[in-house]
Structure formats: structure tokens, C-alpha cells
Amino acid sequence: MQPSEHHLLLTQLLTDINRIILGKKEPVRMALACLLAGGHLLVEDLPGVGKTTLAHVLARVLGLDLQRIQFTSDMLPADIIGVSVFDRASGAFHFHPGPIFTQMVLADELNRATPKAQSALLEAMEERQVTIEGATRALPAPFFVIATQNPAFQIGTFPLPESQLDRFLLKIELGYPDAAAERELLAGADRRQMVAELTPRLLPPQLLELQQKTRSVHASPALIAYIQALAAFTRSSPLWVAGLSPRAGLALLAVARAWALLDGRDHVLPEDVQAVLPGVIAHRLRFHDDTRKVGAGETANRLIEAVPLP
Amino acid sequence: MARLDRPVSRRQSQWLLLAAVTAFAPLATHMPVWLAVFAGAAFVWRGWIIQRGGRLPPRWLLVLLVIAGSLGVFFEYRSLFGRTPGIALLLIFLSLKLMELRAPRDAVVTVLLCYFLILGQFLFTQTILTACVTCLAVVITTAALLAANNDRPTIKQQFEHAGRLLLQALPFMLLLFVLFPRVNGPLWGLPEDRRTALSGLTDAMAPGTIAQLSQSDAIAFRVAFTGAFKGIAPAQSSLYWRGLVMPDFDGRTWRVSQTREAYTTPPYAEESRHSKPIDYELTLEPHGKRWLFALESPTTLPAESGLTRDYQLLSRQPVRSRMRYTQRAVPDIQKGLTDPPEVLQESLALPKNSNPRTRAIAISWRQRHGDNDAAILQAAEDFFSRQLLRYTLNPPLTGSDSVDEFLFDNKRGFCEHFASAFAFALRAAGVPARVVAGYQGGEINPVDGFLVVRQYDAHAWTEVWLSKQGWVRVDPTAIAAPRRIDSSLATAIPANETLPFLARNDMAWLKAIRYQIDAVTNGWNQWVLGYDPQRQRDLLTRLGLDADWRNMTALLTILCGASLLLLTGWVLRQRERIDPVRRAWQRFTAKLAKRGIVWQPWEGPDTLAARAASQLPAHATKIHAIARSYARLRYAAHPPSKGLVELNQSIRDLSL
């Protein structure tokens, strides 16, 4: 594929998705960038704003198998990764893979599960393999997790610890649609039906090629310096409890590359970094003054305006 | 920059409180108790408001407190001016200023007040410890000043920043210290020091006066031998530091009679019969009196000083700050052969009807030896050694005939008893004699080679006038306790008598530590506090520079100018190193700024271009092209080879 072909293909993907998820161009683009960068996505918002639909659409257009795991408070790790069962006929144990053995996992309402169940998923996300009873089983490639989570102030939730939040490359919020989009949604066809009718645009090898392409987007020394300056500033600023980790810096660069690719560019601009910054830092920086509810956008703006371009 | 409409934040208040407390703490000991409590309470109150919240006190209350504090100072000192009342007032102002931190201006005023009070410490003490405390306080206050402008960095960063700034100032400080033309007089002298009590010899000597001094190990003066005696001090027994001459006796107390200078140059011939001249530099600790100490006999006089008729070295002004003078002493000079008769008359006067036993024996010497004064002197020395007098720090108290009681009854005394009795006996025999007080001996500090003379080295001896030799020094103490003169006080007194710690001969390791500390203190006194015009001249001459003040000012200007030039050059070089793409961008943003579109340093090229294009739609295409071209040059993997030329060209072509 030629660069222009990439751009064309990615634009088509976005058009397809935006036909179903109405009025959410920015979050949709972020979600796609996250997958291109090969990371896992955390979607946090109230029930019913289209989190699950987003996952279904993404899986469909990218041509990936989707398994949905609905997390509940009585869930056990075996419910996610699978279990060995004794087969009387053969006289041996047989492994029954859990729902995690798929290309895309929709982990619905992750924060409803107990920490034990959560960590089973999160470990698989990090390692991209599962070890059960001594045997290591690789997960398919590509492997994506889209986790949704209700805002923590809802009843019956186990908030994810910061160390585990860090495993999600991006966190996005969908929010309510605007008036026009909502009217169109109400008037339009059944979303489930529309998803089913979508044709996949990609095969898994093509997706892997796109990911490869994302990694090769050029980041100039000036841009690397900018990302470093951003991370360094969060570490010295008294605003936040702790600064961004080097892993967060890598995440920022990876997503910024995907963003540049979505724009049809072969190099990253500071604007790309600034655009993806809210999704990268929202779940990684915590204000000292926790009582204030500060949106990801405002946090990112504060950071952007404090760090001059090198 | 501090914006004037911004209130002082909580963090800034904490910094200012810290600075105020560090400025206040060392001064607290010099303040009356009520004031220390007043300021301390204000600080605690302010800290409480910072930690627990609450409102600052209303303005009328502050005004009342200022009035109350000022009245307190006035009634304490009967004045609002001068060193201590001035500092006290400033401390009150500082503690209350913290209560009205409303704008950045108040923060700056507080910081400046802190700086001033930190310097104020030097008006009270100037030791190394003070300097260390001051340095620390300056760092804290500077950090507070930085915080007053930007309170976002952490405590560690503020300290690092302040430390860096002060370190950068250090070379300039050293340059100014070394080269700024000095004036005569102490760096930190203030007229108010007058009333301070200082230990040392007084102008009268009664039994017990010097024994009292022997309990003090305070330093009287330090001596550095130069010339022929550099590194090898003269023998202990020759180190008679002559100070006061006391010819006036009332039966119990010897007094100084003359405080008028008679000579401005030594009235005696300089040549000596057979001894080498002794060169030395003496650093006298302030003692509040006019007399100076010197080995016999000084051939030159220190500046602003003169000799009395009985060769007592007197400074024109009382010695209220450390004073340094260079001396050349020539022993064995004959003095006083031509003394006016009234001086000799004075040295023969005796109170009537006192000490009959001593008088009787003195008259017997005169009868035996006729007018041979030298033989009478010998007879007196023989008599003193026959009496088996004992040298002790704790002599029994004496009554009205103190000389008789000492010589015949209890036979125990300290040097003032010996000198007094000896001079009395000779006068009774008709030989002119007088008591001289000063210091004898001293101790070499092995660390820096300075001879340290302490108060316990105080001593009294006699001078006797013989017709062929003039005034001759005779030390009657040496007859009974030769070791006092040859070695030290500790070897001469009985073992069970108490001496100040430094005078003792045991505990060598502690003494070694004291030597070290004393050497450091001496270095500080000599080179920092005592860096006067003379020292400056010496140092610059040693560096091969002409030490005229005009030259020094020129040198100072040249060096400071050169450093500034270097600094400027360095800054310019930093700017040179900004790459050409960046400079092109700066030209572009400068053009936009003229049209009121100010580039924010965090704005990427596309963002700025979009903003600029929306305001200047006529130039939208060009602006976008420039931004894209710049972005490619700066961020692309393979920027076009002629991109920079084109970028510069298109920026030139852009006419807004």
C-alpha cells in the first residue's frame, strides 16, 4: 500500500464508524489511533452513551473477532481466561479456553468486578499471553482490549488502581451526543442492525501492516524533546501527585504517531501530541486537590500552555 | 514577574514566615525578653493562620500593635535610634508586616526587611559562626524572594535555584571584597559599642587585681613574629609585653599617673649594644582602654599613638575594635637617662607612716651601701630571696600595711604583691622605682605559628632607675618563682590551685582542638574582619599590583567589566546556537506579532497558522504555506533540501 492508500483506507474506516456512532468524531478517532498504536482502550462514561456499540463497530470494520465479557462482582479469573476440565472419556484434563482467547475483547464494566478478576484480564493485556496450570498459551495477534467503566462514583464499583490504569494506552470519554446527533440517532435505524450490515474493510494482516506503518512515522529530535519536556514538567509541578512515567511518555509518542498517520502525514507535529494528550494523561495524572473535578481536557490544556515548544 | 493584582498565596506566606524566623532567631538573644516574646508570638499567630486558616488581623489592630511595640522600645532604650533600638524596631515591623501580606509588594518588602536584619547580626557579632548562620539565612531569604515571584516549584527546587543564583554572585562578591578600596576602621564598628564591658588590665593595681585576671582565658592579643624571629619566637623569659606604668602609690593601690602623650617618636637612641631587633605584628583584641602593648623598646610607634613621659604606649582613641600594628623592638636600649627630675621625684613618693618594718629594713640598706643604688638593688633582691616568699594564686587578704604583711607575716602572694612590695622597698631606700603592668610570655599555637597571649598571662613587675643605666626592668616574681617567667603560669603555682582550662598542662588532645579552632578564628580575624587598607596593600603588592586606590578602582572596573563581557558573550553564543530554522520562525512570528497575533510559545505551527489565517484571511494561503514548510523542516524525516531557502524567501515575501 502507498501512503495515500493508507490515508484513504483510514478515512473510509472513520467514515464507516461515524455513520453509526453519531457526533463523536474526536473520541472515535482517538479509539482508532489507540488500536493503530497497538494499545488497549479504556472508555469511561455513563451507561447508554454508546460504549458497547463503539466496540462492536470497531471490531466489525477492522474485521476482528469480538468476545464480550460482562464483568460482575462474583466473577472469577477462570471465567475470563478459561479452565481445565477432566474428561472422563479420555481420562485426561482438557483446557477450555475462556472468552479472552480472541482478537478483540470487550471488557464491559470492568470496575464492577473484584480486583482479583480485574487483574486476571490486566495481566493478560500486558503479557499478551495466559499461563494456566503451568502451560503458557499465547493470545491471538492482533489482540485488543476495549474496557468500559462506569464513573467511580456509581454504586458497586471497584476503582482500578493507578498501576493498572497505566496499562491502558488511552482513556476516552464519550459523553452525551449533541442535539442534532441525538435527533438523528432517535430517527435512524437500529444500531445493532447497522453494525451487522457493515462490511469489514480490513483483514488481520492488513491491520498488522498499518500498525507497523504507525511505528515508522518519523518523530524528529525537536518533537522528542517536546514530549520529554512535557513529562519533565509534570514531575516538577506541584499540581499533580506524581509526574508522568517514562512509559507514559512512550504512550504519548505512540498515539501521536497514529494520530499523524490518521492525518496522512509521515511525521509527527506538536499538534498531534497536543491533540492526544488528554486521552494519554487523563488516567495517569492525579491532582493533589482531589476534590476538584477537573476534566481531562482542562488538565491537558494546563500542561500544554505551561510547556513551550523546544 | 510578580503581577500586582495577585494575592500572596499560602505557599508564599509559608516561605516568608520561614525567612522572617531565620532572620529573627539569631537576633533574639540580643533583644529584651518581652520583644522576643512579642515577635515570637506574632510568628506563631501567623503560622496558625497559614495552617488552620482564619482572617488576618484588621489594620487598626496592627497600628495599635506597632505603636505599642515602638513605645516598648522607647521605654527600654530611651531612644528609637542607634543599633539595638533600631534593630528592635525593625524586628517589630517585620513580625507585623507578615500580618498584612496582601499583595506581592508586601512580600518584597518583607524579604528586603529580612535581608537587612540578617546583615544586622554583624552589628552584634562577627564570628565565623555568625557568617555561616548568615549565609544560610541569605539562601532561605533568596528562596523566599523567588517563591514570591513563582510559588510553583518545589522546596528543593527553590533552594537549588537560590543557591545557584548566590553562587553566581560569589565571584563578584570576592572581587569586590578584595579590590574595593578600603577605608581605615573596622568594617562593622558602631559608636554604640562603647558601653560594652571588656576584660583586661585596668589603670589601677591593688592586691588581687591580676590574680583575678588569671582566671580568664580570653585572648588579649596575638603576635606574629617576622624578620629574624620568624618561626622561632624569642625566649619566653624575654617576652615582657609592657603596658601600663604605675608610679602613683597610696599604700595599697598603684595607679597610672600620666595619660598625656609626651613623645610622638621614641626619645631614645635606636642602636643596641648586642641584641637583635625583634620584628612582629601584634593584633590586639578590643579592651576599651587606650594603652597598647609592646616589647621593650619600641623603635617606631603605631599609627595614631604616642608615648607618655614614662614610655607608656598610648593610642589616641580607646581600642574598641580589633587593632593591628607592626612593631620593631630593640631590647637593651637605655631609657630615661635624661628623664626630667619630676618623673624621678614621682617615683620616690611614699605614703606616710605605712609599712614601718619594710621602711626600717630599706633604710638599713641605704645606710650600708651609701649612694650606690646598684648595691641597694642587689640587697633588695637578696632580701626577697632570703624571705622564701611563695608564689600563689590565693594569697591571704592583707590589711593596711600590705607590704609588711606580705614580706614578714604570711609570705605568700601573686605577682602584684611581689611588684608592689619590691617597688615600695626600693622607694623606701631612696631608689626611684615604679610598677609596670602588662603581659608576660604567651603560647605559640603550633597550627598557625601565632603567639597567643591570654588574660591569664597578665603580669606585673617593677622598673628601677639607676643613674648609669636609666630605667632597668626587675621582676621580683622571678626571684620566688622563676618558672613563671621561663615557662608558664601552670608550672609555677601549686598543683591544687585552679586555673582556666587553657592554662593547664593536662588534657593535651582538647588543647589540640582548641589550637585548631583558635587558628581558624585567627585567620578569620586577620584576613576577613581585619582586611584593612594595609592588608589590602600587602596582598595586592604580593600579587604584583600597585596598591593605589585609583589603580584598585580601575582594576575592579576592568575585572567586573570583563566578567560581564564574558557573560554577555556566553549568552550571545547561546543565541547563536539557535538553529536557522528556528530563527526563520522567529522572524515569522515577529511579523505576525506586529499585526497583533502573538505566538504563544506552546503553539504548534499549524495551530498558529489557523489562528492567524482566520484573522488575516487575505494572507491565509501564504501563512499556511509558511507554517507547513516550517513544520516539514523541523519535524519531517527528510525535509526538502531547499526548504530553508524557500522558507526564508516566503517569510520575506509575506507583507502583512
Chain B residues with CB inside 8 Å of A270's CB?
Answer: 604-605, 635
Residue A128: per-residue pLDDT: 87
Q: How far is CA A174 from CA A31, A48, A50, A110, B393, in A?
A: 11, 10, 8, 17, 97
Residue B185: per-residue pLDDT: 61
Is the per-residue pLDDT at B560 higher than 90?
Answer: no
DSSP state of B524: I
Among A177, A210, A243, which residue terminates a domain? A210
Q: Which of B99-113, B251-265, B560-574 has the lowest mean pLDDT?
A: B251-265
Extents of the domains making up chain B: 10-179, 205-349+434-508, 534-576, 580-653
Owning domain of residue A201: 1-210
- Cell numbers that stand for A76 in this block: 472469577
Buried b or exposed e, range B383-397, using 16+ CB within 10 angstroms: bbeeeebebbbebee
Indicate if A81 and A114 belong to the same structural domain: yes
User: Closest to A218 (Cβ–Cβ): which among B152, B605, B636?
Assistant: B636
Confidence of residue A270 (pLDDT cuts 50, 70, 90): very high
Higher pLDDT, B81 or B21: B21
Q: Do A223 and B635 touch (CB under 8 A)?
A: yes
- Identify the H or E element spanning B47: helix B33-52
Indicate if A162 and A222 belong to the same structural domain: no
Q: Do B604 and A271 touch (CB under 8 A)?
A: yes
Is the per-residue pLDDT at B105 higher than 70?
Answer: yes
Chain B residues with CB inside 8 Å of A219's CB?
Answer: 635
Q: Do A222 and B634 touch (CB under 8 A)?
A: yes
Q: Which chain B residue has the Cα nearest residue A230?
A: B602
Is the per-residue pLDDT at B270 higher than 70?
Answer: no
Confidence of residue B191 (pLDDT cuts 50, 70, 90): very low
* Closest CA–CA distance from residue A303 to any residue of chain B (Å): 10
Q: Do A222 and B604 touch (CB under 8 A)?
A: no
Is the per-residue pLDDT at A252 higher than 90?
Answer: yes
Beta bridge partners of B294: B242
Residue A51: per-residue pLDDT: 84
Residue A33: per-residue pLDDT: 94
Residue B187: per-residue pLDDT: 57
Residue A223: per-residue pLDDT: 93
Cβ distance A71 to A51 under 8 Å? no
Cβ distance B66 to B99 under 8 Å? no
Indicate if A26 and A96 belong to the same structural domain: yes
Is the per-residue pLDDT at A140 higher than 80?
Answer: yes
Indicate if A89 and A192 belong to the same structural domain: yes
Residue B195: per-residue pLDDT: 45
Strand pairing report for B240-246 and A144-149: unpaired
Chain A residues with CB inside 8 Å of B153's CB?
Answer: 236, 238
Beta bridge partners of B440: B240
In the predicted model, what is the mean pLDDT of residues A37-66?
Answer: 88
Q: Do A266 and B632 touch (CB under 8 A)?
A: no
Q: Determine the residue type at B436.
A: V
* Polymer length of chain B: 656
What does the alpha-carbon distance between residue B302 and residue B314 come to, in Å, rounded to a whole number? 9
Q: What values do phi and psi take at B339, rounded to 5?
A: -60, 140
Per-residue pLDDT reduced to its tens digit, B5-20: 567 888 889 999 999 9
Chain B residues with CB inside 8 Å of A308's CB?
Answer: 601-602
User: Which of A121, A139, A120, A119 has the alpha carbon at shortest distance from A129?
Assistant: A139
Confidence of residue A97 (pLDDT cuts 50, 70, 90): confident
In the predicted model, what is the mean pLDDT of residues B238-253?
Answer: 88
Confidence of residue A153 (pLDDT cuts 50, 70, 90): low
Per-residue pLDDT reduced to its tens digit, B309-363: 888 888 888 887 788 898 888 887 888 777 788 888 888 888 888 888 999 999 9
Catalytic residues of B: 415, 459, 475
Chain B residues with CB inside 8 Å of A237's CB?
Answer: 152
CATH of the domain at A259: 1.10.8.80
Q: Determine the residue type at B181.
A: P
| Cα A101 from chain centroid (whole Å) | 18
Q: How far is CA A109 from CA A150, A158, A177, B519, in A?
A: 6, 10, 21, 76
Is the per-residue pLDDT at B380 higher than 50?
Answer: yes
Q: Does B607 touch chain A (CB under 8 A)?
A: yes
Residue A80's contacts (CB-CB under 8 Å, 6 or more residues apart) are A69, A98, A99, A100, A117, A120, A121, A124
Q: Does B600 touch chain A (CB under 8 A)?
A: yes
Q: Which of B44-53, B92-101, B240-249, B340-349 has the lowest mean pLDDT?
A: B340-349
* Closest CA–CA distance from residue B49 to any residue of chain A (Å): 20
Chains A, B: CB pairs < 8 Å? 51
Confidence of residue B197 (pLDDT cuts 50, 70, 90): low
Residue A154: per-residue pLDDT: 65
Q: Do B636 and A309 touch (CB under 8 A)?
A: no
In the predicted model, what is the mean pLDDT of residues A251-272?
Answer: 93
* Polymer length of chain A: 310
Angle at B529 between CA B525 and CA B534, to 5 degrees: 100
Percentage of chain A surpassing pLDDT 70? Answer: 96
In the predicted model, what is the mean pLDDT of residues B626-640?
Answer: 88
Q: Does B604 touch chain A (CB under 8 A)?
A: yes
* Closest CA–CA distance from residue A60 to any residue of chain B (Å): 34
What does the alpha-carbon distance between residue B408 and residue B416 come to, in Å, rounded to a whole number? 16
Higher pLDDT, A170 or B217: A170
Indicate if A98 and A174 belong to the same structural domain: yes
Domain count, chain A: 2
Cβ neighbourhood burial of A116 (10 Å; 0-12, 13-18, 19+): exposed
Chain A residues with CB inside 8 Å of B602's CB?
Answer: 304-309
DSSP state of B31: S
Residue B299: per-residue pLDDT: 84
Q: Do B605 and A269 touch (CB under 8 A)?
A: yes
Highest mean pLDDT among A175-184, B273-282, B565-574: A175-184
Q: Do A218 and B637 touch (CB under 8 A)?
A: yes
User: How many CB atoms lie under 10 A from the CB of residue A301?
Assistant: 15
Highest mean pLDDT among A4-8, A228-232, B188-192: A228-232
- Cell numbers that stand for B187 in this block: 568594617
- Identify the H or E element spanning A83: strand A82-87
What does the alpha-carbon distance between residue B227 and residue B327 come to, in Å, rounded to a whole number? 11
Residue B389's contacts (CB-CB under 8 Å, 6 or more residues apart) are B406, B407, B411, B412, B413, B418, B479, B480
Across the beta sheet with B458-466, what order do the strands follow? B240-246, B433-440, B458-466, B470-474
Q: Which chain B residue has the Cα nearest residue A240?
A: B152
Q: Which of A196-210, B1-15, B231-245, B436-450 has the lowest mean pLDDT?
A: B1-15
Among A179, A210, A241, which residue terminates a domain? A210
Confidence of residue A255 (pLDDT cuts 50, 70, 90): very high
Q: What values do phi and psi take at A190, rounded to 5?
A: -65, 125
Q: Which chain A residue has the Cα nearest residue B637?
A: A218
Confidence of residue A309 (pLDDT cuts 50, 70, 90): confident
Indicate if A122 and A267 belong to the same structural domain: no
Indicate if A29 and A172 belong to the same structural domain: yes
Higher pLDDT, B373 or B498: B373
What does the alpha-carbon distance between residue A223 and residue B540 come to, in Å, rounded to a whole number? 54
Among A181, A210, A239, which residue terminates a domain? A210
Q: DSSP 3-state helix, strand, coil percentages of chain A (rounded to 5)?
A: 50, 15, 35
Chain A residues with CB inside 8 Å of B632's CB?
Answer: 267
Return the residue matching grid coordinates 490504569: A165
Residue B53: per-residue pLDDT: 80
Residue B21: per-residue pLDDT: 94
* Closest CA–CA distance from residue B632 to any residue of chain A (Å): 8
CATH of the domain at A86: 3.40.50.300
In the predicted model, what is the mean pLDDT of residues B394-398?
Answer: 80
Q: Do B152 and A308 touch (CB under 8 A)?
A: no
Q: Do B637 and A271 touch (CB under 8 A)?
A: no
Indicate if A243 and A156 belong to the same structural domain: no
* Closest CA–CA distance from residue A173 to any residue of chain B (Å): 24
Highest mean pLDDT among A59-68, A239-248, B269-278, B332-341: A59-68
User: Closest to B153 (Cβ–Cβ): which among A218, A236, A305?
Assistant: A236
Could you tell me if the ipTM is greater than 0.85?
Answer: no
Indicate if A301 and A253 belong to the same structural domain: yes
Cβ distance B499 to B489 under 8 Å? yes
A interface test, pick of B156, B602, B608 with most A CB neighbours within 10 Å: B602
Q: What values do phi and psi take at A198, rounded to 5?
A: -65, 145
Is the per-residue pLDDT at A240 higher than 90?
Answer: no
Return the residue matching grid coordinates 517569510: B651
State in Å, rounded, how far the first CA of chain B is from the last one.
Answer: 32
Higher pLDDT, B309 or B434: B434
Chain B residues with CB inside 8 Å of A267's CB?
Answer: 632, 635-637
Indicate if A221 and A206 belong to the same structural domain: no
Residue A255's contacts (CB-CB under 8 Å, 6 or more residues apart) are A30, A33, A34, A37, A39, A169, A170, A276, A279, A280
Indicate if A251 and A138 belong to the same structural domain: no
Is the per-residue pLDDT at A172 higher than 80?
Answer: yes
Q: Which chain B residue has the Cα nearest residue A217?
A: B637
Q: Does B153 touch chain A (CB under 8 A)?
A: yes
Q: Do B602 and A222 touch (CB under 8 A)?
A: no
Q: Do B600 and A305 touch (CB under 8 A)?
A: yes
Indicate if A110 and A230 belong to the same structural domain: no
